[in-house]
Structure 1
Amino acid sequence: MTIYSLYIFDRHCSCVYYHDWHRSLRAKVATEGNILPAVSHEVYSKPTEGDVSGTPTPSYPGSRLALSSSTGIVVAVNEQPPPTPATVATQTATQATTSSLSFDEEAKLVYGVILSLRNLIKKLSGRDEQFVNYRTSTYKLHLFETVSGFKFVMLSDPNTDSLRFILRQIYAGPFLEYVVKNPLVSMDSKERGIDNELFRLSTDRLVRNVSVFS
């Protein structure tokens, strides 16, 4: 059992944060203009100048600074050397394991599924019932929605028990501490995601400590 990815959607239906761990198919870079900047450097078409907290973002190709994922320390790196045959082969293999969907299309599909199932449950079972998760043969989707309209969505192995508790911990811990209480973050912004490094590192540490993560 393992955890694949995490999405956070705001009340405007926009994906404002993304993080993945054990995806077998990487999402393609989002089409320019169809995703907010600072959602995740892995799926955004252009590098950002820095996050809302003022901390540096991980490096992009050609950058001379890199953020170590293990220590969080910014270190200097050399410019990328000319590609070797081995590098080209590795890049080709990576492209072969990339999803056919761009990230913006993927995020819209995830949100669409959540919205459709939530409305279906309310119509069939009444307003007291809540949509919390569903399972397919390949993954399980977990949902935690806040009163303010933020939706925390996690995809995991289909045999995983409910992970709403970890989504609630992410909201009550790193999200409140580094996003809600951060005066530099606009909670009603339609122009930028919420990807600052303190929030990303704290969320990553929290998820990796869950027993089902492997």
Structure 2
Amino acid sequence: MTIHSLYIFDRHCTCVYYQDWHRTRRPKPAAEGGLLPAVSQDVSAKSATGSNPNSNRNTLTSNTGIVVAVNEQPTPNQLLQTTGPPLTSTGLAFDEEAKLVYGVILSLRNMVRKLSGKDDEQFLGYRTNTYKLHLFETASGYKLVMLTDPNITDNLRLVLRQIYLGPFLEYVTRNPLSTMDSKEFGIDNEYFRQSIHNMVSGLTGFN
């Protein structure tokens, strides 16, 4: 089971979280101002000194006031970068990629509803010859999107639902320091990121 990446979009169509695993072609960092801070250090716009201004990990709080890591231990993504195959670029900035992902979902969801003639008809995902997209949408408008190998037969929508009912509710919704529906920051919480990594890497057949 090869899982490539996970996106979370809020009800404003904004990408508020990103994480990847077995992805050898990563997009270029987002353009300055094109991505909310704290969505992902791997794809955030770099500062003039070449480092992410939101990546100070030797403090107890981030810019959002949420507790993050207190040492320089690498994140799961950084560990995979050093042990996996060398990463290349898709040539596309991440903010543009996120817009394309959301645009495809929105277009196909509208098409499914129009063809079925039912407003409650659900669009669950699609498959191409190179990847498979899985979608879970919450009642509050959050969309959890996972891209995987096209040969996966399991419906990972259930996994996305578990991510929402588990780590998302625990570390984001119920976190008194987290500002929900914010247009200023992404989901700046390393406990949330680590919990998702543990859950996904624990799936049967995860490579």
1:53 paired with 2:63, answer no
TM-score, length basis structure 2: 0.84
Cα distance between partner residues in 1 of 2:120 and 2:102: 21
Match of 1:75 in 2: none
| Alpha-carbon offset, residue 54 of structure 1 | 2.0
- Percent identical residues: 61
Contact 2:66/2:188, CA 8 A, preserved across alignment? no
The runs of 4+ residues in structure 1 deviating greater than 6 Å are none
Q: Deviations over 1:104-163 (max 9, x none)?
A: 000000000000000000111122321001000000000000000000000000011210
Q: Partner amino acid for 2:189?
A: N
| Residue from 75, 100, 105 that aligns with 1:109 | 100
Cα distance between partner residues in 2 of 1:172 and 1:18: 18
| Residue from 112, 133, 143 that aligns with 1:151 | 143
The total of aligned residue pairs comes to: 185
Match of 1:207 in 2: 200
Structure number, greater radius of gyration: 1
Q: Deviations over 1:4-55 (max 9, x none)?
A: 0000000010000000000120111000101000000001123315264222
Contact 2:30/2:43, CA 8 A, preserved across alignment? yes
- What's the RMSD between the two structures over aligned residues? 1.9
Q: Partner amino acid for 1:67?
A: Q
Q: Partner amino acid for 1:142?
A: H
TM-score, length basis structure 1: 0.81
Q: Deviations over 1:185-212 (max 9, x none)?
A: 1112100001310000001000011114
Q: Partner amino acid for 2:166?
A: G
Contact 1:52/1:194, CA 8 A, preserved across alignment? no
Q: Which consecutive residues of structure 2, in runs of 5 or more, have no partner in the other structure?
A: 46-51, 57-61, 77-81
Match of 2:44 in 1: 44
